[in-house]
Amino acid sequence: MTEQEERDDAAQALATEIRRIGGRLKRRLREISGVGDMPGSQIAVLLHLESEGQATISDLARAEGMRPQSMGAIIAALEAAGHVQGRPDPADGRRTLLSLTERCAAWMQAGRIARQDMLAGAIAARLSPEEQTQLGAALPLLARLVE
């Protein structure tokens, strides 16, 4: 076996494992990544808005790697639930600036998301601090594969 073939085999083995775990991840992330009834996609948006203050639908779509139409549906659900609100951008009439409602911001600051975050709970319960560090370092590598 040539060195090139060995490298290909290594990549192939890794691909197989990613497929297997990725498949599971895809299915389970829906259940474990939510907070109560709220899906992980909505949580991600709230956390983004909490740290950034405000953003447009297109901003959020880019940040999460999806289409504006898809993000629009997520935002519509969050608006209907009274968690985010939009106001027109005074500087650009095309844009709608989204931000957390006061009630939602207070709810998040009270740490209720953190305490109910099943994914964070699973991480804390099942991974040692060292393992968490190891996983955190590897995530950007995974991100590079899907960008």
- What is the secondary structure of 37-73 as a DSSP string? TB-HHHHHHHHHHHHHSEE-HHHHHHHHTS-HHHHHH
The span of 45-53, 58-66, 107-115, 135-143 binding DNA (CB under 7 A) equals 58-66
Least gap, CB of 46 to DNA (angstroms): 14
Least gap, CB of 57 to DNA (angstroms): 4
Under 8 Å CB-to-CB from 41, ≥6 apart: which residues? 64, 74
The span of 94-102, 117-125, 128-136, 137-145 binding DNA (CB under 7 A) equals 94-102
Least gap, CB of 102 to a second copy (angstroms): 22
Secondary structure tally for the chain: helices H, strands E: 8, 3
The type of residue at 125 is A
The contact set with a second copy (CB under 8 A) reads: 7-29, 32-33, 40-41, 43-44, 47, 63-66, 114, 117, 119-124, 126-127, 129, 131-132, 134-139, 141-147
The residues facing 96 across adjacent strands are: 88
**Which residue in 73, 71, 96 sits closest to 86, CA to CA?**
96
CA 106 remoteness from chain centre: 21
Residues 25-44 that bind DNA (CB under 7 A): 26-27, 30, 39, 41
Tell me: does residue 56 bind DNA (CB under 7 A). yes
Tell me: does residue 73 bind DNA (CB under 7 A). yes
Tell me: does residue 144 bind DNA (CB under 7 A). no
Q: Starting at the edge strand that comes first in sequence, how are the strands of the sheet with 84-88 ordered? A: 54-55, 96-100, 84-88
Q: Where do contacts with DNA occur on this chain (CB under 7 A)?
A: 23, 26-27, 30, 39, 41, 56-59, 66-70, 72-75, 86, 92-96
